[in-house]
A and B are shown apart, each in its own frame.
Chain A
Amino acid sequence: MADAIAVPRLEPAASSWKFLRVAPGILLLAAVGCGGKFLEQFAGGYAKAHHWTIPNIEYVLWAILIGLAISNTVGVPEIFRAGVATYEFWLKAGIVLLGSRFLLGDVLKLGGVSLALVAIEITVSIAFMTLLGRAFRLRPKLTSLLAVGSAVCGVSAIIAAKGAIEADDEDSSFAIAAILALGALALFTFPVIGHALHMNDHAYGLWAGLAVDNTAEATAAGALYSDAAVLAKTTRNAMIGFVVLAYAIYWASRGQAGTVENKAAFLWRKFPKFVLGFLLISILATSHFFNKEQTTALANLSRWAFLLTFAGVGLRTNFRELRKQGLRPFAVGAIGEVVIAALTLGLVFGAQRFLQL
């Protein structure tokens, strides 16, 4: 696993020992998340009591900032690391539960628009990142990983592609470091740009979902503004299997990766199953399986799951470790991200004008 990630990935297996191993980290996630929620209320109340006009900093940012402060000062002690790594589990569970807030009609409408924009975004991103990687003379497989990471869904896509194209650990570490560092920057810049451009909820959500690579960061950048980011990002995630399969076939044709025997099985293995869970909950909500109170309860459960996720995003980001990975992959990623952000912003404004988002 990449050095750039401050915490190891959680192996999905259940036992009482494993639960005890993750419990301290989950408690830390909850403490950091609740700390963020408390600070949002405290800062707002304090400013109001003193008649100050300050921008409202939401719990999402507070939770991430507390996590970043811990990770980059005292560090995350070993005992908490396995539990902190569960943030990805909470993210996916939260996305499934968020399906209750989207009626199927909205999913089909916004998802349809997203799908068209995602197709353009992926094609242009891969072409651009490939050219950029060649211009900067990056290793070809590192370029492929950076292209997959910025075109589809960040770290998950890089890990999926790493196995399929038989890239080495060093290349995937570089690519993951670049994507994580840029994701952290996007978290703070996207909402500012969205407000400055007076983007509406749907347009901003679509943009964040199309341009921010990692699902956790896209969800956080969206939570500051609009839930639509999750829907657009989920559409993008659904493409992971196709893109990774195309890369696997390409590298196999050059004799530098194993051949893919069963393409359908490959696609199913790489397909993010939480997309299906999100759709199922959305279908149930549309068919009035849940009443209004129950829908609110599900939405709140989703918020709690995201609270743990956002705490994890801060806690797993260690800038010292990211810096060690080198400047060139970061430069390629940064240039690529700026171009992709500008391109997707143009696409969203185009869609807003012609499709009235």
Chain B
Amino acid sequence: MSENVEGIPKRRRWVLTLDGWAVAAALLAALLVRAGVLKHVPW
């Protein structure tokens, strides 16, 4: 783990990758469809 100059461990910053964002958005959309918020998606 990385440390700052005083030797106190820094908290690792959690960064979502593009993949992670895409999966999160798709799962959210799936939940909205399941909950009935998005009822009909035309094509």
Check: A38 CB closer than 8 A to any chain B CB: no
Given that A297-B40, A300-B43, A301-B41 are known contacts, is A273 also in contact with B19, CB under 8 Å in the complex? yes
Which of A88, A277, A301 is in CB contact (< 8 Å) with B18?
A: A88
Which residues from 84 to 103 on chain A have a C-beta closer than 8 Å to any C-beta of chain B?
88-94, 96-97, 100
> In residues 62-109 of chain A, which contact B (Cβ within 8 Å)?
88-94, 96-97, 100
A91, A273, A284, A301: the one contacting B17 at CB < 8 Å is A273
Q: How far is the CA of A303 from the CA of B29 in the complex (A)?
A: 13
23 inter-chain pairs at a CB distance below 8 angstroms, sorted by A residue, are A12-B16, A12-B17, A12-B18, A12-B21, A89-B25, A90-B22, A92-B22, A93-B25, A96-B23, A96-B27, A97-B26, A100-B30, A272-B19, A274-B26, A277-B22, A277-B23, A277-B27, A281-B26, A289-B34, A290-B34, A297-B40, A300-B42, A301-B29
Q: Is A294 an interface residue (CB 8 A)?
A: yes
Confirm or deny: A304 has a beta carbon within 8 angstroms of a beta carbon on chain B. Answer: yes
Residues of chain A contacted by B16 (CB below 8 angstroms):
12
**Closest CB of chain A to B13's CB: distance in Å?**
11
A-B contacts, CB under 8 A, total: 82
Binding site for A on B (CB under 8 A): 15-23, 25-27, 29-30, 33-34, 38-43
Q: With an 8 A cutoff between CB atoms, is A298 at the interface?
A: yes
CB–CB B26/A277 < 8 A? yes
Residues of A within 8 A of B43 (CB): 300, 303-304
Chain A residues in the interface with B (C-beta under 8 A):
10, 12-14, 88-94, 96-97, 100, 272-274, 276-277, 280-281, 284, 289-290, 293-294, 296-298, 300-301, 303-304
Contacts of B18 in A (CB 8 A): 10, 12, 88-89, 92
Assuming A12-B17, A273-B17, A297-B40, is B33 touching A89 (CB within 8 A)? no
* Bound-state Cα–Cα, A293 to B41, Å: 9
| B26 in contact with A96 (CB, 8 Å) | yes
Q: A297 contacts B38, CB within 8 Å?
A: yes
Out of A10, A92, A296, which one reaches B23, CB within 8 Å? A92
What does DSSP make chain B's interface, helix, strand, loop or mixed? Answer: helix
Complex-state Cα separation, A102 to B27, whole angstroms: 16
Closest chain B residue to A271, Cβ basis: B19
What are the residues of chain A within 8 A of B29 when measuring CB–CB? 93, 97, 298, 301
Contacting pair B22 A89 (CB below 8 A): yes
B41 in complex: contacting residue of A92, A274, A289, A300, CB < 8 Å: A300
Docked Cα-Cα span, A246 to B3, in Å, equals: 30
Q: Is the CB of B23 within 8 A of A274?
A: yes
Cα A295 to Cα B12 with chains together (Å): 38
Which chain B positions have C-beta within 8 A of A96? Answer: 22-23, 26-27
Determine the chain B residues whose CB is within 8 A of the CB of A91 once the complex forms.
Answer: 22
A284 touches B22 (CB 8 A): no
Query: Nearest residue in B to A88 (C-beta to C-beta)?
Result: B18
Given A94-B26, A289-B34, A297-B39, 7 new contacts (CB under 8 A) = A93-B25, A93-B26, A281-B27, A298-B41, A301-B29, A301-B38, A304-B43
Complex: chain B residue closest to A289, CB-CB: B34
**Other-chain contact of B22, A100, A274, A280, A301 (Cβ < 8 Å):** A274
